[in-house]
Chains A and B, each alone.
Chain A
Amino acid sequence: MIRFTAVNKFYGGFKALNAVDLIVKEGERVVVCGPSGSGKSTLIRCMNQLEQHDTGSIEVLGRTLGDDLRATDQIRKDVGMVFQSFNLFPHMTVLENCMIAPQLVRKQAAENAKDVAMDFLNRVHIQDQASKYPSQLSGGQQQRVAIARALCMSPKIMLFDEPTSALDPEMIGEVLEVMTDLAEEGMTMVCVTHEMGFAKRAADRIIFMSKGEIVEDGAPDDFFASPKTERARSFLRRLDLTPSTH
């Protein structure tokens, strides 16, 4: 589904991704972790071309991304993304947030888009807030709306970039629960998160990044039991000292 081959990405002179090779198969749940600034966001944002890579090749859902802008448009329809800062549209109601892209991009009729939206708002347990504006919701509720909004496009892959990092601790659970449900339904997911409980529960694979490189890539049990590199060991040690932050 996703194939990175020798991908490099520069910000000016700074190398944010260094010769990254990665394959994510259909139905796989991959958790990406690593210290701040290690290139996790850059990696995941290359998957739907919010960032353009410089060299190497990225193939998503059978299309090669890069100069072909039509391929990028096509991929964005089929790849959903959830951001750390929710990024709901503040001038639209919750329902409108969920209906706008299916109507504009998938050319769905309004009633159809509304049915689909209400269905997904139900699934994230927020149907009774449909007519409110995002600013009237709590952070956890907003993030669940953001997940529903992405799902309304019926994506084949879901990308999450630290979806719980901006949330108060008591709201993290409700968002992770929705993500766990999604994982159990078999959605292909790439998820940047430091919620190691979620990783153990829901992930098939853990990728550990450091300084723009993929340093470790393996099953969660192996990664937590016996990390192969010193960098991963010290990362895990620091996480244990300060659980559920960053």
Chain B
Amino acid sequence: MALVQFRDGNSGIVVGEQPAAGTSISSKARLNGINLLVSAIAVALIVWALYWIVDWAVIRAVWTSEDGSACRVADAGACWAVIHVRWRIILFGLYPYDEQWRSAAACLVIVVTAILSCTRPFHTLARLTLLWLVGFGSFIALMRGGVLGLSSVSVNDWGGLSLTLFIFAAVSITGMPLAIMLALLRRSRLTLIGKTTAIIIDVVRAIPLLAILFTVGVIIPFGLPDALVGEKLYRVIAAFSLYFACYQAEIIRSGFQAIPTGQEEAAQALGMSYRQRVAYVLLPQAFKAVLPPTVNQFVITFLETSLVVVIGFFDVLASGNAAFGTAKWGIAKIEVYLFVAAIFFTFTFSLSRYGAYLERRGAPNAAK
């Protein structure tokens, strides 16, 4: 090992000496030549890759084929037919075929609720709470049925995109207040409370999410009486939410630390109560300071929702697996994954764009 390293180092020196040996002008010219060559190669590679992708994904692609036979001819490109034929499985999982419009409507409800909660008029606690109660209420009514003449569908049959969105939205909406609470408790002036919260946060962060999900999904039902167990989906959301909150609490805490102590003193001197100081002085400044890592945390959480597959939930990625899991469509694995990736990308990219917009909006007053 040491010998190899020694030889590497040696040859590096020799290569390094060569340009230095010539006059500075010729070495510059040679460098320019190398630059040009490297650029030309890079451009050629990119053009070739682009051509290959367009050729595969568009020119030679198979757009429709009821049974996938057209995808199996020798020079067939991307098999988009799989999406055409199986998109409902990918988006809706095992949800009853005739009722899938409900699952689509439920997705729409969550997306609209999320977009509305990003707009100014809903930026008060009361309105935001009401909005999400209505949003989740209609989501559950649509998905579960049993009301307004909708036939009932078991939670075990929920799946696909609506399940992914529901888990993500529920985790975010319950996890964020929990995170704020943990962050506030952690900076409590009573050391016992502060220390206990710190230990809880550190313990949860030390356990892999997979282990947590497995525990609440599979192990807890064995240990507890049925009445206490509750529905698996909600146990998973609760655990996921705690996990999210512990990470987000640390992010918020770092935001608190970025605020000069004079801010809280000024608010105290004006007679503002603890709650008022937290709501109007501390949290707005803390969130502004930690906006980028917070958006990051949301994006990670969105991607992590696909881990629920380990305890038997059919999120959109798992339903994607089901879509090519037959003899007919086994060849179209990549196409399905690309499609699912595009769905994930749409959501996470929108999240980060919204984050960037918030940062820009906050810019004038953040500037020193």
Q: Is the CB of A101 within 8 A of B271?
A: yes
Q: B184 on the interface (CB 8 Å rule)?
A: no
CA distance A80 to B269 in the complex (A): 7
A153-B271 in contact (CB<8A): yes
Complex interface: chain A residues within 8 A of B262 (CB): 83, 85, 87
Chain A residues numbered 82-109 whose CB sits less than 8 Å from any CB in chain B: 83, 85, 87-91, 93, 100-101, 104-105
Contact of B368 with A135 in the complex, beta carbons under 8 Å? yes
Contact across chains for A133 and B271 when beta carbons are under 8 A apart? no
B281 touches A104 (CB 8 A): no
A144-161 Cβ-contact flags toward B at 8 Å (1 or 0): 001001100100000000
A100: contacting residue among B260, B273, B280, B364, CB under 8 A: B280
Q: A6 contacts which chain B residues (CB < 8 A)?
A: none
Within 8 A of A (CB), among B229-261: 260
Find the residue from B267, B271, B285 having the highest chain A CB count within 10 A.
B271
Query: Which residues of chain B come closer than 8 Å to A81, judged between CB atoms?
Result: 266, 269
A231 CB–B CB distance under 8 Å: no
A101 in complex: contacting residue of B265, B270, B285, B367, CB < 8 Å: B270
Q: Give the distance to chain B from A156, nearest Cβ to Cβ, in Å.
A: 13
A77 to B272, CA, bound (A): 8
CB pair B280–A90 under 8 Å, yes or no, is no
Q: Which residues of chain A come closer than 8 Å to B364, judged between CB atoms?
A: 133, 136
Query: A81 — nearest CB in chain B belongs to which residue?
Result: B269
Could you say which of B271, B362, B365 contacts A76, with CB atoms under 8 Å apart?
B271
Question: With A91-B284, A133-B365 in contact, is A149–B270 under 8 Å at CB?
Answer: yes
CA distance A89 to B272 in the complex (A): 13
Q: Does B152 contact A (CB under 8 A)?
A: no
Query: Do A105 and B270 touch (CB < 8 A)?
Result: yes
Docked-complex contact B285 and A90, CB < 8 angstroms: yes
Q: Does A73 contact B (CB under 8 A)?
A: yes
The residue among B263, B270, B368 with the most chain A CB atoms within 10 A of its own CB is B270
Q: Across the interface, which residues of B come within 8 angstroms of A71, CB to CB?
A: none
Q: Does A48 contact B (CB under 8 A)?
A: yes
Q: Which residues of B contact A50 (CB under 8 A)?
A: 265, 268-269
Count A-side interface residues using an 8 Å CB cutoff.
27
Range for the number of chain B residues in contact with chain A: 20 to 34
Residue from A87, A89, A105, A135 in contact with B271 in the complex, judged by beta carbons closer than 8 Å: A105
How many Cβ-Cβ contacts under 8 Å join chain A to chain B?
Answer: 71
Chain A nearest CB from B36 CB (Å) reads 47
Q: Which residue in B260, B281, B284 is a CB contact (below 8 Å) of A85?
A: B260
Contact A91 B285, CB 8 Å, known A50-B268, A76-B268? yes
**Distance (whole angstroms) from the CB of A245 to the closest CB of chain B:** 22
Known: A83-B262, A133-B365. A91 touches B270 (CB 8 A): no
For window 52-94 of chain A, which residues contact chain B by CB distance below 8 Å? 73, 76-77, 79-81, 83, 85, 87-91, 93
Contact A73 B271 (CB under 8 A): yes
Separation in Å of the A52 CB from the closest CB of chain B?
A: 12
Known: A87-B263, A90-B365. Contact between A104 and B280, CB under 8 A? yes
Chain B residues near A136 (CB-CB < 8 A): 364
For A76, the chain B residues whose CB sits under 8 A away are: 268-271
Question: Inside 8 A of A80's CB, which chain B residues have their CB?
Answer: 269-270
Closest to B270 in A: A101
Q: Is B288 an interface residue (CB 8 A)?
A: yes
Q: How many Å lie between the Cα of A88 and that of B281 in the bound state?
A: 10
Q: Does B276 contact A (CB under 8 A)?
A: yes
Contact B266 A105 (CB under 8 A): no
Q: How far is the CA of A105 from the CA of B275 in the complex (A)?
A: 12
Interface string of B333-368 (1 = CB under 8 A from A): 000000000000000000000000000001011111
Complex: chain A residue closest to B273, CB-CB: A73
- In the bound assembly, the distance between CA atoms of A81 and B272 in angstroms comes to 13
B267-317 residues with Cβ-Cβ distance < 8 A to A are 267-273, 276, 280-281, 284-285, 288
Residues of A within 8 A of B366 (CB): 90, 135
Q: Are B273 and A89 in contact (CB under 8 A)?
A: no
Closest 8 CB pairs of A and B: A87-B266, A101-B270, A133-B365, A87-B262, A81-B269, A77-B271, A76-B271, A105-B271
Residues on B facing A (Cβ under 8 Å)? 260, 262-263, 265-273, 276, 280-281, 284-285, 288, 362, 364-368
10 A-B pairs with CB atoms under 8 Å apart are A50-B269, A79-B269, A81-B269, A83-B262, A83-B265, A88-B266, A89-B263, A101-B267, A135-B365, A149-B270
* A interface, CB within 8 angstroms of B: 48, 50, 73, 76-77, 79-81, 83, 85, 87-91, 93, 100-101, 104-105, 133, 135-136, 146, 149-150, 153
Since A87-B263, A135-B368, A150-B270 are in contact, a sample of 16 more A-B pairs with Cβ atoms closer than 8 Å, ordered by chain A residue number, is A48-B269, A50-B265, A50-B269, A76-B270, A85-B262, A87-B265, A90-B285, A90-B365, A91-B365, A100-B270, A100-B280, A101-B271, A101-B272, A133-B365, A146-B266, A149-B270
